[in-house]
Amino acid sequence: MQRSDYLIRKVLFGLVTLAVVVGFNFFLFRILPGDPVKSIARSPRLTQEAREKLRIEFGLDKPVFLDVERLGKGDVIGAFDTQFTAYVSALAHGNLGISFRSRRAVSEVLAERVWRTVVLVAAGEMLALVLGTALGLISAWRRGTRVDMGILLWALFCWGLPTFFLGIILLILAQGLLPVGGMVTPGLKPENGWAYWSDVGKHLILPTLTMAIIYTSAYILIMRSSVMEVLSEDYILTAKAKGMSTFRILGSEALKNAILPMVTMIALNLAYTVGGAIQVETVFSWPGIGRLMYEAVTMRDYPVLQGTFLLLAVAVIAANLAADILYSMLDPRVKAG
Amino acid sequence: MQQLEEIWRAFLRKPMGIVGLIMLLAVVFVALSAPWLAPYNPKEKIDVEPGDLLAPPDAEHLLGRDDAGKDVLSQLIYGARVSLTVGFVASFMSMVIGTTMGLIAGYRGGRIDHLSMRLVDFLLVIPVLPLMLVLISIWGRGLWKIILVIGLLGWTITARLVRSQVLSIKERRYILRARAVGASHYRIATRHVFPQVLPLVLAQAVLAVSDAIIAESSLSFLGLGDPMLVSWGMMLNFAFERAISRRAWWFLLPPGFAIVWVSVGLILIGSTLEEIVNPSLKSHHLFDPRQMMARFEGMAPKTPAPDASTGVETERSG
């Protein structure tokens, strides 16, 4: 199979996935119980005319998906003047609607908060990768020993640990030692320079640690099994016979073999990691998009909920596509085609 | 049936599995005998005085009281019912869907196979928890809705595993023979192929129970649990909102450790079963590199014929 074919297929799959998510997002929020205008303009004092005006303003007077009446009259282009096309074109312009609660544009709120989640997820993933790789290597190297058993049990234990509960435990343990809520001590501003950033760093420690501990287990287990697989290969035996030290074998050959599954794991994991970010941000009041989603759920702020879900889904789809592309560059079999 | 007996005998030789089984049975026992074990009825209306709210443990209330003055231990005991119901029913749903999809995809092959595997790929890149949050907030909170959402989203890995097994089984001689004597596809799939994948499905089912219990507790913690029932996740939601500043550990820690207890028990059982029925997997299927590679269907060079004895996932090169 040619590499370009492979890439085209992956990009196509990504685009189809994206289209399905957009369509899904649209229909899901149309089947809301009750009239959307009622929930937008909750005030019962609104007159009938004002309500009608709102309906037109939000395009809710139009048919949902396809104007069959106009299609019957031969007006093919007019038949697509519907809520769905309005939604898609608004989306293309980066318009995600207005938050019910804060009355601000959803895209604006998301843009303001997204980097905080990116920092948290990146820091957590990085720490998890480092810890997972190290523990997985040790575990495979010392397979069958107590060390191996201990690491395995630890990984299984973390697998069964709900993210939010680990967060709560760390929060209780660290009370008084580290800041346990928010992103920065009130009063500090970016203009304060170093004091501000080190304070943010301190606030980041507990959420990062929570995410890292939860996601380490997957990396430990995948590292362990792929290293064990390499260690049983003939060329490792040859390398050993030639006098290559165990340490170097582990460092070069074993790691090389583990890179591909690791890349895949990171991308696959991301779909779960954003779920973890919601929980961690909720526990530690980290003001990212995870916390935003939690607030939107409790406040029934549907436009924010819809926008956040779309952003998260797009991010994960894009990351998976990136992993697929990276994979095709790392795997020599693809080049050979 | 003989096969299941063999698995059971192998299971009894694995200490980790037995520990897990005992852990699970303890929770099942507590859930079944909740009305007799619980010192108080959590639904009963009680008169409380200000001092009773978040009162620390004493002889009458072994785990203290919650923010409404109710006995924490009783709620914990009844909470086992919610967790186990969600876990087992959602897992059963996932297994029925996943096995059916895997059987059809693997057995029929062709376009159906391709489409269903793309559906699996699609569901794997959708962030699950955010999707559940969206679905439940729109649909409304309720036990059955939670079960349905978890069950409908949890079948993907089972479908893929069953499919790869079926791919290897269907080339075996006795299947070809059954075909030659004129058995229908339906009969072959249900009578000959299904029993072969059943042990693997059982291992998956146990792991899926644990996943479902954690998912339910996360949803409840985020405020989307069934308002009529007190689940462990819901207790944690209340405790986190109100008890943490008062350092009421007796309200905060027990429900969390209960979740960890039951899910670790299930994971121990599940991974032991997996080790027995599928020796090629050295650990949980999610962490097996070969399973990871299977995602890149079509990239690998021509792979050898599916290995029937180990069930190693081998993909057709496209």
Q: What is the mean pLDDT of residues B104-132?
A: 89
CB contact under 8 A, B317 and A328: no
Say which residues have a Cβ less than 8 Å from residue B155's Cβ, sequence separation at least 6: B93, B94, B95, B97, B98, B101
Burial of B313 (0-12, 13-18, 19+ CB in 10 A): buried
pLDDT at A14 over 70: yes
C-alpha–C-alpha distance, residues B97 and B152, integer Å: 8
Q: Which two tokens stand for residue A24?
A: 């899904």
Q: What is residue B71's three-state secondary structure? A: strand
Q: What is the mean pLDDT of residues A242-266?
A: 75
Say which residues have a Cβ less than 8 Å from residue B106's Cβ, sequence separation at least 6: B113, B162, B163, B164, B165, B166, B167, B170
What pLDDT is stored for residue B249 in this prediction? 77
B303 chain-A contacts, CB cut-off 8 A: none
Q: Which of B124, B126, B262 to mutate to test the interface with A (most CBs of A within 10 A)?
A: B126
- Helix-helix angle B110-124:B72-108, to 10 degrees: 150
Residue of B nearest to A281 (CA): B222
What pLDDT is stored for residue A58 in this prediction? 62
What pLDDT is stored for residue A34 in this prediction? 52
B224 chain-A contacts, CB cut-off 8 A: 297
Which residue in A17, A96, A58 sits closest to A296, CA to CA? A96
Q: How far is A78 from chain B (nearest CA, A)?
A: 31
Give residue-wise pLDDT tens across range A129-169: 999 989 988 888 888 888 888 998 888 888 889 999 999 99
Which residue in B102, B121, B123 sits closest to B113, CA to CA? B102
What pLDDT is stored for residue B287 in this prediction? 42
CB contact under 8 A, B282 and A228: yes
> Which of A8-22, A104-118, B169-183, B209-223 is predicted with the least confidence, judged by mean pLDDT?
B169-183
A302 chain-B contacts, CB cut-off 8 A: 137-138
Give residue-wise pLDDT tens across range A83-96: 777 778 888 877 78
Which residue in B239, B288, B265 sits closest to B87, CA to CA? B265
Nearest-Å Rg of the Cα atoms of chain A is 25
What pLDDT is stored for residue A332 in this prediction? 63
B127 chain-A contacts, CB cut-off 8 A: 270-272, 274-275, 309, 312-313, 316
Percent of chain A at pLDDT exceeding 90: 20
Label residue A293 by pLDDT band (50, 70, 90): very high
Identity of the residue in A1, A278, A279 whose CB atom sits nearest the CB atom of B298: A1
**What is chain A's mean pLDDT, rounded?**
81
Q: How many CB atoms lie within 10 A of CB B286?
A: 18
Give residue-wise pLDDT tens across range A199-218: 888 899 999 999 999 989 88
CB contact under 8 A, A1 and B138: no
Give residue-wise pLDDT tens across range B177-195: 888 888 888 888 888 888 8
CB proximity B178 to A under 8 Å: no
CB proximity B137 to A under 8 Å: yes
CB contact under 8 A, B223 and A172: no
Give residue-wise pLDDT tens across range B67-101: 776 777 888 999 899 999 999 999 999 999 999 99
A309 chain-B contacts, CB cut-off 8 A: 127, 130-131, 133-134
pLDDT at B59 over 90: no
Give residue-wise pLDDT tens across range A186-201: 777 777 778 888 888 8
**Contact assessment for residue B68 and residue B48, using Cβ atoms and an 8 Å cutoff:** yes
pLDDT at B291 over 50: no
What pLDDT is stored for residue B318 in this prediction? 32
Label residue B304 by pLDDT band (50, 70, 90): very low
ipTM of the complex in this document: 0.84
What pLDDT is stored for residue A39 in this prediction? 56
**Contact assessment for residue B193 and residue B103, using Cβ atoms and an 8 Å cutoff:** yes
Q: Which of A29, A164, A268 to mutate to test the interface with B (most CBs of B within 10 A)?
A: A164
Q: Which of B152, B156, B296, B303 to mutate to test the interface with A (most CBs of A within 10 A)?
A: B296
CB contact under 8 A, B126 and A228: no
Say which residues have a Cβ less than 8 Å from residue A162's Cβ, sequence separation at least 6: A279, B214, B217, B218, B221, B233, B256, B259, B260, B263
CA-based angle B28:B29:B34, to the nearest 5? 100
What pLDDT is stored for residue A41 in this prediction? 55
pLDDT at B285 over 60: no
Q: How far is B139 from chain A (nearest CA, A)?
A: 8
What pLDDT is stored for residue B70 in this prediction? 77
Residue of B nearest to A218 (CA): B287
**B25 or A36, higher pLDDT:** B25
**Contact assessment for residue A210 and residue A167, using Cβ atoms and an 8 Å cutoff:** yes
